[in-house]
A and B are shown apart, each in its own frame.
Chain A
């Protein structure tokens, strides 16, 4: 009786959740090489969705199509109800302020200090916060949230790999996006720093109530962060489910990811 009630409540909750991101039949090829062959995805409000796949499976191509850095050959991408491929430059830039993107290599502007890195998107999208925006307060708040307030006046060259990733995350958070896209958030980091970044991602999700799409091949990261996982194999959704469901799968290709 209690179980039935719980299932009913959960499905009610899921049904009321807003669809933040919807990809349908996404295709992209480079010459003869078909990278995406009809990829589909749905990301719900507040959800942590992990995409796993081998290197070269098209994960990065897919995520770049999502923010308009690459144009797909066909398919549709809807972000918060807006059709990304039909937007003009101004509306696309406006929509981009609702999406945070954490790059694999952090991509901090190396000619600017940490403070200037964080102020850069803020100054350019002042209208989002009103005229009385206190940039210094927002920068301090974002840096405190990633635990690096002392690095505020350092240059990116003076930071370690883990610190760079945290600052990049703070820069992503400063515009208070509704969706955050993580491209291999733990790659190139030692196991301890990786754990710290994963923990930080969870805290951010709780605090900012963001929806997250995480691209990774780090099984530990997927286990801790994911609510749902999609396996991207040969450019399609090969398998989908929770971490435990996929881990216990009998399919050889799926098993290979969790060995």
Chain B
């Protein structure tokens, strides 16, 4: 009985999120366009995650190389190191881990910000003053996360590869030129393009869930905490679902 109620509530939430997403597309193409606020959000969201993404990327590169090196050494296949690391980072590990860190930072931030605006009637005040709060607050934030995450992932991947090169250079005396020559020889468009495309969907999901949770926040200040927390949990879960679909589709078109 208790489980079936939980499932019903979950399905209702999925339905509401879909309706929220539909409204996003409806408002996205209607005037007025909030360009100034969009730029502000892009700067804010991108800039806020820059350091975190950089550090995460660097550590991913270091750790993957350190962990994989002994196994490849055993088979005398150290020369495959740049190819293996670059393919795994660009295709999967980079986008997913950076998107998860981004979700932790941005989805919770948006959920808490919009949630507190909702409970303190700031969203109502905006609406009453003749400004469409959905367009001003939600459309700009979702668009900003959608546009910023791919850029951050490209940056994070690059830093991760640099981290990997540092280990290779220290342990295997591989030059910068040789390392990146091997990287670019092994990477194909089929590795890069689908990986970048899926990050747009990751960014969209993170922004949409964060805004959905915050915009519909209830139960006062307790609700703000719940909104921030569930925004991270829900968006992280959604990332894996999108990732599975993306890999499945890529497999059909690019034959991984």
Contact = CB atoms under 8 A, between A and B. Distances in A.
B7 interface: no
A236 interface: no
A107 B125 contact: yes
Interface string B95-129: 00000000000000000010011001110111111
B131 interface: yes
Contact of B128 (A69, A105, A120): A69
B131 A107 contact: no
Contacts of B117: 109
Nearest to A92: B130
A82 interface: no
Contacts of A171: 129
A243 interface: no
B131 A110 contact: no
Contact of B129 (A104, A105, A111, A124): A124
Interface residues of A, number: 25
Nearest to A101: B128
Contacts of A67: 128
Interface string B124-142: 1111111110000000000
Contacts of A125: 130
B124 A107 contact: yes
Q: Assign chain B's interface to a size class.
A: 10 to 19
A120 B136 CA distance: 12
B228 to A, nearest CB: 16
B129 A121 contact: yes
B40 to A, nearest CB: 11
A107 to B, nearest CB: 4
A147 to B, nearest CB: 22
A178 interface: no
B130 A107 contact: no
A99 B120 CA distance: 20
A259 B164 CA distance: 78
B129 A96 contact: yes
Nearest to B124: A69
A120 B129 contact: yes
A69 B117 CA distance: 15
Contact of B131 (A68, A108, A121): A121
A96 B124 contact: no
A110 B129 CA distance: 16
Contacts of B131: 93, 120-121, 124
Nearest to B119: A105
Contact of A110 (B120, B124, B126, B132): B120
B121 A107 contact: yes
Contact of B125 (A68, A93, A101, A111): A101
Contacts of A99: 128
Interface in A46-71: 64, 67-69
B130 A97 contact: yes
Contacts of B127: 68-69, 96
A175 interface: yes
B254 to A, nearest CB: 44
A132 B159 CA distance: 50
Contact of B130 (A64, A96, A104, A105): A96
A110 B128 contact: no
Question: Among the interface residues B120, B121, B122, B128, which one has the most CB atoms of the partner chain A within 10 A?
Answer: B128
A125 B131 CA distance: 9
A217 B113 CA distance: 32
Contacts of A107: 120-122, 124-125
A175 B125 CA distance: 14
A35 B36 CA distance: 42
Interface string A66-83: 011100000000000000
B128 A124 contact: no
A104 B127 CA distance: 16
Interface of A: 64, 67-69, 89, 93-94, 96-97, 99, 101, 103-105, 107-111, 120-121, 124-125, 171, 175
A-B CB proximity, top 4 nearest: A107-B125, A93-B130, A107-B121, A121-B129
Interface of B: 113, 116-117, 120-122, 124-132
Given A67-B128, A103-B125, A121-B130, 12 more contacts: A64-B124, A69-B127, A96-B128, A99-B128, A107-B121, A107-B124, A109-B122, A110-B120, A121-B129, A121-B131, A124-B129, A171-B129
24 contacts: A64-B124, A67-B128, A68-B127, A93-B131, A93-B132, A94-B130, A96-B129, A96-B130, A97-B129, A99-B128, A103-B121, A103-B125, A105-B121, A107-B120, A107-B122, A108-B125, A109-B122, A110-B116, A110-B122, A111-B113, A120-B131, A121-B130, A124-B129, A124-B130
